Amino acid sequence: MEFKLPEFKFPDFSDAQYANLPEISIGKVEKDGVAPDEFYLTSHMPTFYKYNGKWILPEHNSLNCVAVLDGDKIVITELRELKKGDKVVLGDKIDGTQGILVYKDGFPQSIYCPRGKAVETSFSQDYDRLFELMQYEKENGGHIVWVLGPSVVFDYDTRNSLNKLAENGYINCLLGGNAMCTHDLEGGFLQTALGQNIYTQENVPMGHYNHLDLLNEVRTIGSIKEFIKAGNVKDGIIKTLNDLDVPFVLSGSIRDDGPLPEVIGDTDRALTETKKQLDKATLIIGIATMLHSLSVANMASSYRITQDGKVRPVYMYTVDITENVVNKVAAAREFMAFTPMITNVQDFVVNCERALVKPADKSLMGDMEIKQTETVGINKKEDEIKGARL
pLDDT for position 380: 53
What topology does CATH give the domain 14-100?
2.40.420
Classify domain 108-355 by CATH architecture.
Answer: 3-Layer(aba) Sandwich (3.40)
- Contacts of 18 by beta carbon, 8 Å cutoff, 6+ apart: 11, 12, 55, 96, 101
Ranges for all domains in the chain classified under CATH 2.40.420.10: 14-100
CA distances from 108 to 120, 167, 248, 289, 321 (A): 27, 34, 33, 30, 29
Is pLDDT at 385 greater than 90 in this prediction? Answer: no
Q: How is the chain split among helix, strand and coil, in percent rounded to 5? A: 40, 20, 40
- The pLDDT score that the predictor gives to residue 199 is 84
Q: What are the residues whose beta carbons fall under 8 Å from the beta carbon of 87, sequence distance 6 or more? A: 26, 27, 28, 29, 68, 69, 70
pLDDT at 21 over 90: yes
CB 367 within 8 A of CB 180: no
pLDDT (mean) for 143-167: 95
Identify residue 238 by its one-letter amino acid code.
Answer: I
- CA-based nearest residue to 383, from 154, 208, 216, 190: 190
| Residue 255: pLDDT over 60 | yes
Chain region(s) in the chain for CATH 3.40.50.10690: 108-355
- Is residue 9 within 8 A of residue 104, CB to CB? The reply is no
Residue in 247, 246, 191, 181 with CA at minimum distance from that of residue 215: 181
pLDDT averaged over the chain? Answer: 90
- Left (φ > 0), alpha (ψ -120 to 50) or beta: where does 99 sit? left
pLDDT in tens, 265-322: 999 999 999 999 999 999 999 999 999 999 999 999 999 999 999 999 999 999 999 9
Q: What does the pLDDT read at residue 353?
A: 96
Whether residue 210 contacts residue 382, with contact meaning beta carbons closer than 8 Å, is answered with yes
Is the CB of residue 304 less than 8 Å from the CB of residue 60? Answer: yes
Give the CA angle between residues 13, 19, 25 to the nearest 5°.
105
Banded pLDDT at 1 (limits 50, 70, 90): low
Sign of CA dihedral 71, 96, 32, 302: negative
Residue 196 has a pLDDT of 85
Give tens-digit pLDDT for 29-64.
999 999 999 999 999 999 999 999 999 999 999 999
* Residues 59, 275: Cα–Cα separation, whole Å: 14
